[in-house]
A and B are shown apart, each in its own frame.
Chain A
Amino acid sequence: QVQLVQSGAEVKKPGASVKVSCKASGYTFTGYYLHWVRQAPGQGLEWMGWINSDSGGTSYAQQFQGRVTMTRDTSISTVYMELSRLRSDDTAVYYCAREGGGPAVASHDYWGQGTLVTVSS
Chain B
Amino acid sequence: DIVMTQTPLSLPVTLGQPASISCRSSQSLVHSDGDTYLSWLQQRPGQPPRLLIYKISNRFSGVPDRFSGSGAGTDFTLKISRVEAEDVGVYYCMQATQFPRYTFGQGTKLEI
Residues of A within 8 A of B (CB): 35, 37, 44-47, 50, 59, 61-62, 95, 97, 100, 103-114
Contact = CB atoms under 8 A, between A and B. Distances in A.
Interface of B: 1, 37, 39, 41, 43, 48-51, 54-55, 58, 60, 90, 92, 94, 96-97, 99-107
A35 to B, nearest CB: 7
Contact of A111 (B50, B54, B97, B101): B50
A111 B102 contact: no
Contacts of B43: 45
B103 A104 contact: no
* Main DSSP-derived SS at the B contact region: loop
A46 B55 CA distance: 20
A47 B92 CA distance: 12
B103 to A, nearest CB: 6
A45 B51 contact: no
8 contacts: A44-B90, A45-B49, A45-B104, A47-B104, A61-B101, A108-B39, A108-B51, A111-B49
A44 B92 contact: yes
B58 A103 contact: yes
A113 B54 contact: no
B54 A44 contact: no
A106 B75 CA distance: 18
Nearest to A99: B96
Contact of A103 (B48, B54, B92): B54
Given A45-B92, A106-B37, A106-B96, A113 B58 contact: no
A100 B96 contact: no
A59 B57 CA distance: 27
A107 B21 CA distance: 19
Contacts of B50: 111
